[in-house]
Structure 1
Amino acid sequence: MVLIQKLLNITYTPNKQTTNIVYKDKDGQTIKTDKVDGKTDETIPVDPTKDVPAGWKIIPDQKIPETVKVTQDGVPTVVVKIEHKTITVTPETPEGDIPTGKVPGDPSKTYPAMESITKTPTRTITVIKPDGSKLEIKQKVEFTRTATFDEVTGAVTYSDWKFAKSTAKGGKSQWDAYTPQAISGYTMHIEQKVGDKTTTISSIAAADVTEATGNVTITVTYVPITPSGEGGGDDIIPGKPSKPDDHKPGVPDKTPDKPIIETKSVPLLRIKILNLVQPQLKATRKLTHLCMKI
């Protein structure tokens, strides 16, 4: 009897296994799941940064393993916490970097147009001198804010307005007082326009300014002073003839003893001689008017 021995070789093939990289938001909701294949006893590299969902970013300071070990019991799931990506726009942001078009995290949505993130309330003072020349002064106060675009929802949020700079002395949030030049022989007329309303003001005072302040326009003009000290009157001017009906002769109630002489403080003398009576004549009264120019 012959005994025959056989050598049996037994080999073990590692099982294929799959692990998941699960991306979750701050509320624990699963946003995306990626599968990673491996075999038992293999070490699988983990790099969740390669496949972060569009519009999202990994929350910092997480302990995310760089590799995972595949065991016969399986592979632990890797959880990665993520949050919405945002883009913050400031007044210095180039126009080409301002988000427009489709929202990365939700292509069915479109970014809205960004509102203004700068405001510059301005008071414009225009001085028109008697010779027609103009002087323009612009007093400005600038306020700014930021706009933050959400790359998942497409929403835009704005920060509070903040004072940035101004033309005022000391860089204050105000319009400085302004005193126009006084010109001899003229009175000053100042008009202020706010919106559709125009009013006359006596001076240009300092004014506090906020982002809600509207633009103001002030116009300064000069009105010539007449010889009487007022503008626009019907005053008598030396050398100018009087109106024909300025002085009409009248009949006095009684005969004066002496001629009546009226004078004015201008180079025009009016003399009225009334009721020259000659006693030797009868009761007839004769009235003589004599005007003499000196």
Structure 2
Amino acid sequence: MATTARAGASRAGASILSTVTPKRPLPGKETLRKREEASNAKKLAAKMHRSLYPHLYTEDGTPAVPLNGEPGRKIRTIKTREGEAKPWDNQAEFFRRKLMEFHNTSKILRPPPIRKGCPNPVAAVNASQITTLDPTGARTRLFDRGNPECARVGDVLLVRLRTGDPFAGVCINIRRRGTDTAILLRGQLTRVGVEMWYKVYSPLVEGIEVVQRAAKRARRARLTYMRKPKHDRGSVENLVRVHLRQKAALGATTANGKKDSAAKAKAMAMAGGKKKKTGRGKKR
């Protein structure tokens, strides 16, 4: 009796398990969105193929040309999820399938590598920009470390701007960053220490001049200790005034020399050229 009861209970449990199926979870918003996109893409592919090849469809929109019935053509196949090759019935379905595969492809298309054509693109861009901003190359040579006469920290520099008053001060820092190369000048205005950053290749900078060289080469890259009252150079207006006076005198001398040479040439031309010296020949 016990065995028969157990057998009956097991049969009843098996029947209950076979009839009751677990509930599947409802799809999320992301899944529904992907399904909607896939259906829209499929509809768009079918519509485009129907507009491109209307002769392959009947009036009700079903494909009219079977692929397997065409003589002299291979049967197109596609792999299913199980890995088996399945023949397609017509060209319309095959075309739609190809469009769907192209739409849902997971392959990332990347541009070809540029290392072959341009191994260092950043340096090439910097060089082209420097050529545009500094066509003569004067500013590049002024701050080139390989140039023995380049500007160094500790020198007194004068920066002339296209719009605004010039500023002069002691160079306490040179930041070399390609087109962003900049200098930090420290001076005094109304007996108050002032520091100004200037971009070397900025179009607003008209010119940079070296007013006075440092007595000896500084042993530091940044002379920030000059901010202390003990090491502050103070105002450099006197040095700038002397530099401008010497520059003006040199320019006036050059202009006068050119004028004198032009006057002499004009007088000689009016006199008929140089006169030949008359006299005996060389003594033997």
TM over 0.5: no
Whose radius of gyration is greater, 1 or 2?
1
- TM-score for the superposition, normalised by structure 2: 0.19
* Bigger strand share: 1
